[in-house]
Chain A
Amino acid sequence: MKIVVCIKQVPDTKGGVKFNPDGTLDRGAMLAIMNPDDKAGLEAALRLKDEYGAEVTVVTMGLPKAEEVLREAMAMGADNGILVTDRVLGGADTWATSTTIAGAIRNLEYDLIITGRQAIDGDTAQVGPQISEHLDIPVISYAQNIKIDGDSVVVERQYEDRYHVVKAKMPCLITALSELNEPRYMTPGGIFDAYQKEITVWGRADLKDVDDSNLGLKGSPTKIAKASDKVRKGAGEKVTLDPDESVSYIVDKLKVKHVI
């Protein structure tokens, strides 16, 4: 079985987000990590590899620095890494991104494509389903508990208040939740091996069946009109009172606001 896992390098928002003085995001000041949902997707692929045997190829699109997440994926157990990088691909929205990645995947053989549900920088959850549309294969979003049954996959597809047990013929695309599993750590030896391996680097010319008009900033239907640091709510009143006064103060406020 051949599995393609799409991963993204994202700024780590865990320690808070840092901004430049002009209000734009200071990506340089934040650690770059493998997107958590993608890591869960990779873990799901590696478990299928452990259980059924599979060749796992990780694909990322980004700046040359994104090679790091491919190395990390290989240190966890992925077999091959492909970096899709080209100036003309920059500034892509989800449409242009999914077009690009689909163009790269068309060069590969695959039974299963796994993507993370969403990236912590954009939070859109759109690229996975859009790739599946470009490749004309079934998609199962929000997947947990992935099993292989002959030429099909059987997964639990999560909804707000239920899950569906869904069976789809391969090839098919699955988007994984970070709740799916606890991704494995790399191993020390795996890290050094990963750096011995070749990483395939593809540019615009290597993308199959894609039109220039659908790539990069120019090929993105959505345009940013405005981006800003979130305006935070200001401070209200602050009082220092003895306990009894504090209680009446709160009760009064709750009454004024019709909470009680």
Chain B
Amino acid sequence: MNLEEYKGVYVFAQQVDNEISSIAFELLGKAKDLAKDLNTDVTAVLLGSDVKGLADNLAEYGADKVIVVDDPELKVYRTEPYAHALAEVINKYKPEIVLVGATAIGRDLGPRVSARVATGLTADCTVLEIGDFPLQAIPGQEQKHNQLLMTRPAFGGNTIATIACPDNRPQMATVRAGVMQKIQPIKGAKAVVEEFNPGFTPDNKYVEILDVVKAVTDTVDIMDAKILVSGGRGVGSPENFKILEDLAAVLGGTVSCSRAVVDAGWKPKDLQVGQTGKTVRPNVYFAIGISGAIQHVAGMEESDIIIAINKDADAPIFDVADYGIVGDLNKIVPKLTESLKAEIAAK
């Protein structure tokens, strides 16, 4: 494998129902940074049926070039025709880097394609940068420059590892949704559009889709919430969560909870934050009556602002809180709700 032949940063531009997924724009934003460091350009790979029209959309978010594989076989996502298409694009165009969203599609497509083109794949990355491998020069070992350094959490977020793929190309990563920044779209931007069709020959690997069932949920996923008002055992009773709900309502937020609350049967499991629950990163996280066991902290420490209210001054939650208030939540929370109501009404 001549590594020098491989050029350019490629992004798998995921679309569902002929609508580009947000992750694709996020990846383009990151790809632009990487391409700048490598002095190369950004290519989006768009797979689907009747998707040509979406190319401009990708250009607006930073794609210099769009490779379109447009075929009826690609109408609804299936592993094989998509893997075939992406692998053939890689074989033909020889990209240096291929980024795929760590979505339910990308985490299926990425490994299948990486195995087919015989390269490494790093899963669920949260940081991507260009650097040297090894990070520090080691005598007797070649230090390679301009490598993609892929950083990812493991062990449920308890460790982080930085991984390189120094001897194989392309360097492939799946990237966690919501981590990379999109660029401000450039209206009217155009990309070079190139159509490519590797041909599709259905075999056993082309599975049959019998039905597509879209989920209807009316509950807000706490992972999507911008403001979370989270309660722990200190809230005292399921009834007392009312004061948290009132606070959340005023701020347009959502109530979540700690494991102790779920174990006590006060709240359902899908509201649980923490290692055995969900990992959240809202703009504001209120930790109310939560002591802050490490398993809980692992699920919320990435929040932008953490405000903790707890009567125990020694509670470990104060070790991660940006603003910690030692006091009685029953006295503070209802007053806070009233005060915020007044503030918002005054605006």
Interface residues of A (CB under 8 A from B): 11, 13-14, 16-17, 25, 93-95, 98, 120-130, 132-134, 136-142, 154, 156, 158-169, 172, 220-230, 232-244, 246-251, 253-255, 257, 259-260
**CB pair A13 B156 closer than 8 Å:** yes
Known: A221-B120, A221-B165, A222-B164. A236 touches B79 (CB 8 A): no
Name the A residues within 8 Å of B115 (CB-CB): 95, 98, 129-130, 133-134
Structural contact, B323 and A237, CB atoms closer than 8 A: yes
Measured between alpha carbons, how far is A227 from B154 in the docked complex, in Å? 10
B157 touches A (CB below 8 Å): yes
B107 to chain A, nearest CB (A): 5
**Which of B116, B118, B208 is in CB contact (< 8 Å) with A168?**
B208
Q: How far is the CB of A168 from chain B (nearest CB, A)?
A: 4
Contacting A at CB under 8 A, from B62-118, are 76-80, 83, 103-105, 107-108, 110-112, 114-116, 118
Known: A17-B159, A235-B318. A164 touches B209 (CB 8 A): yes
Are A240 and B163 in contact (CB-based, < 8 A)?
no
**Majority DSSP secondary structure for residues of A touching B:** mixed
B112 near A130 with CB under 8 A, answer yes
Say whether A239 contacts B324, CB under 8 Å. yes
Candidates A124, A228, A259; contact of B123 at CB < 8 Å: A124
Chain B residues within an 8 Å CB radius of A139: 79, 108, 112
Contact A228 B79 (CB under 8 A): no
Contact call A253/B307, Cβ cutoff below 8 A: yes
Beta-carbon nearest neighbor of A11 in chain B: B155
B25 at the interface (CB under 8 A from A): no
A223 to B120, CA, bound (A): 9
Given A125-B111, A222-B120, is A247 in contact with B79 using a C-beta cutoff of 8 Å?
no
CB atoms of B103 and A160 under 8 A apart: yes
Complex Cα gap A49–B34 (Å): 50
Asked if B42 lies at the interface with its beta carbon under 8 angstroms from chain A, I say no
Q: Which of A134, A159, A167, A242 has the most CB of B within 10 A?
A: A159
A-B pairs under 8 A by CB, number: 264
Enumerate 26 A-B pairs (CB-CB under 8 Å) in ascending A order.
A17-B158, A120-B156, A121-B155, A123-B155, A125-B107, A129-B108, A138-B204, A141-B104, A165-B211, A166-B208, A167-B209, A221-B118, A222-B163, A222-B165, A223-B163, A225-B149, A226-B135, A227-B162, A238-B318, A240-B313, A240-B325, A246-B309, A247-B339, A249-B323, A250-B323, A259-B284
Contact indicator per residue, chain B 203-228, by CB within 8 Å of chain A (1) or not (0): 01111111111110000000000010
Chain A CB within 8 A of B168 CB: yes
A225 touches B133 (CB 8 A): yes
For A16, list chain B residues within 8 Å (CB). Answer: 158, 275, 294-295
5 nearest interchain CB pairs? A221-B120, A222-B120, A236-B322, A124-B123, A133-B115
Chain A contacts for B275, CB-based, 8 A:
13-14, 16
What CA separation (Å) do A16 and B344 show in the bound complex? 41
In the complex, A240→B328 CA distance in Å? 10
Contact B164 A225 (CB under 8 A): yes
Asked if B283 is at the interface of the complex by the 8 Å CB criterion, the answer is yes
B213's closest neighbor in chain A, by CB? A163
Q: Assess A141 versus B158: contact at CB under 8 Å? Given A165-B213, A259-B227.
A: no
Alpha-carbon separation in the docked complex, A247 to B326 (Å): 12
Q: Are A226 and B162 CB-contacts (below 8 A) given A129-B111, A240-B326?
A: yes
CB pair B155 A120 closer than 8 Å: yes
- When the two chains form the complex, which single residue of B76, B305, B327 contacts A259, counting CB atoms closer than 8 Å? B305
CB distance from B202 to the nearest CB of A (A): 11
**A-chain residues with CB within 8 Å of residue B319 when the two chains form the complex:** 232, 234-235
- The reply to whether B166 and A132 contact each other, CB–CB distance below 8 Å, is no
Complex Cα gap A222–B172 (Å): 10
B122:A222 contact, CB within 8 angstroms: yes
A159, B321: Cβ atoms under 8 Å?
no
Contact A164-B204, Cβ < 8 Å, known A17-B159, A159-B105, A235-B321: no
Assess the A166–B320 pair: CB atoms within 8 A.
Answer: no
Contact check, B339 vs A251: say whether CB atoms are below 8 A apart: yes
Say if the beta carbon of B47 comes within 8 Å of chain A: no
Cβ contacts under 8 Å, A14 to chain B: 275-276, 295
Complex interface: chain A residues within 8 A of B154 (CB): 121-123
A95 smallest CB distance to B (angstroms): 6
Task: Flag if B163 contacts A224 (CB, 8 Å).
Answer: yes
Q: How far is the CA of A140 from the CA of B319 in the complex (A)?
A: 43
State A236–B157 Cα separation when bound (angstroms). 22
Q: How far apart sit A14 and B284, CA to CA, in the bound complex (Å)?
A: 26
Distance from B325 Cβ to chain A, minimum over Cβ atoms (Å): 5
B305: A residues at CB distance < 8 A: 253, 257, 259
Q: Decide: B79 and A141 in contact? CB cutoff 8 A.
A: yes
- Interface membership of chain B positions 41-58, coded 1 if the CB is closer than 8 angstroms to chain A and 0 otherwise: 000000000000000000
Q: B183-191, B192-200, B330-338: which lies at the A interface?
A: B330-338
Q: How many Å from the CB of A182 to the closest CB on chain B?
A: 13
| Residue of A94, A232, A250 with most chain B CB atoms under a 10 A cut-off | A250
* Set of chain B residues within 8 Å of A247, measured between Cβ atoms: 332, 335-336, 339
Given known pairs A13-B275, A141-B79, A240-B326, the reply for A162 and B215 (CB within 8 Å) is: yes
